[in-house]
């Protein structure tokens, strides 16, 4: 089962949606049957690389609202994030352009750690309030994730993976993605937005039934207790 996820690292609902999808995969026992592919999207490609504005000030300017109104809006989003175990730090995060972060994710995908990098970048922005638009921050994150520093630095200073990121964004437009998160399962079904874990689970079960995919068994009880294996028994 292939699940393609269009998302942006400054999209609060993308992180929430990711958690709800993971919850659904665990609940349905289909986690080891799913290949998750992360696709790039930019909510606002015109956002500067760095900014001294608070996220509330940036939102107020963008939507023509007062800062007090945007604070209430982000408080509501933070409350939703808490329901899936995420503690958003809207007080300290600032607007950031994510194009280079998406390029870093493409490098990580090349190295086989796409999922881990996507998680790290989302946590960097929403939990740790890091400036993920800045190359020095991305270099540090890359080092944490085990990527070669010289390779990463050369990538960030070039236009490598620029076409790949742009192709993801173009593809999103072609299949009708108007906002993120957007999930495509087996190129048959699309799920728009951070739906509930129950909605995700229902969709996953539907696709699994159509494709003849059997979920893994849920093993109950304590691990390796009262078990005989490989010619020996746990006494």
191-227 burial: b if 16+ Cβ within 10 Å, else e: beebbebeebbebbbebbeeeebebeeeeeeeeeeee
Assessment of whether the complete model's pTM goes beyond 0.85: yes
The pLDDT score that the predictor gives to residue 170 is: 97
Q: Domains in the chain, start-ordered, CATH in brackets?
A: 2-50+96-211 (3.40.30.10)
- Pairwise CA distance, residues 188 & 171, whole Å: 15
DSSP state, residue 47? S
Which residue reads 């799920």 in tokens?
A: 191
pLDDT digit string, tens, across residues 32-62: 999 999 999 999 999 998 888 999 998 998 8
Question: Encoding tokens for residue 230?
Answer: 């490989």
The pLDDT score that the predictor gives to residue 72 is: 94
Strand partners, 232: 229
The pLDDT score that the predictor gives to residue 232 is: 63
235 residues of the chain, pLDDT tens digit each: 999 999 999 999 999 999 999 999 999 999 999 999 999 999 999 999 888 899 999 899 888 999 999 999 999 999 999 999 999 999 999 999 999 999 999 999 999 999 999 999 999 999 999 999 999 999 999 999 999 999 999 999 999 999 999 999 999 999 999 899 999 999 999 999 999 999 999 999 999 999 888 776 665 566 656 666 656 666 5
- Host H or E run for residue 1: none
Tell me the HSE value of 118 on the side-chain side, using a 13 A CA sphere: 23
- Pairwise CA distance, residues 50 & 30, whole Å: 40
The pLDDT score that the predictor gives to residue 213 is: 82
Strand partners, 40: 7
Asked whether 182 and 172 are in contact (CB, 8 A), the reply is yes
Asked whether 5 and 172 are in contact (CB, 8 A), the reply is no
């Amino acid at each position: 089962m292939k699940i393609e996820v269009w998302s942006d690292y400054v999209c609060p609902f993308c992180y929430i949606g990711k958690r709800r999808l993971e919850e659904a995969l665990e609940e349905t026992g289909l986690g080891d049957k799913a290949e998750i592919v992360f696709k790039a999207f930019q909510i606002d490609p015109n956002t500067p690389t760095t900014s001294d504005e608070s996220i509330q000030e940036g939102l107020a300017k963008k939507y023509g609202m007062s800062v007090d109104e945007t604070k209430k809006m982000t408080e509501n989003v933070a409350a939703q994030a808490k329901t899936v175990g995420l503690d958003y730090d809207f007080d300290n995060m600032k607007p950031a352009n994510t194009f280079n972060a998406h390029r870093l994710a493409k490098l990580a995908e090349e190295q086989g750690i796409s999922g881990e990098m996507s998680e790290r970048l989302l946590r960097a922005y929403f939990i740790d309030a890091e400036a993920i638009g800045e190359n020095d921050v991305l270099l540090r994150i890359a080092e944490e994730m085990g990527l070669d520093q010289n390779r990463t630095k050369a990538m960030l200073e070039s236009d490598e993976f620029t076409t790949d990121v742009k192709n993801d964004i173009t593809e999103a437009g072609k299949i009708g993605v108007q906002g993120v998160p957007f999930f495509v399962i087996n190129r048959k079904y699309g799920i728009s937005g951070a739906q509930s874990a129950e909605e995700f689970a229902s969709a996953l079960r539907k696709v699994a039934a159509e494709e003849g995919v059997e979920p893994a068994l849920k093993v109950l009880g304590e691990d390796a207790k009262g078990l005989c294996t490989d010619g020996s028994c746990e006494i």
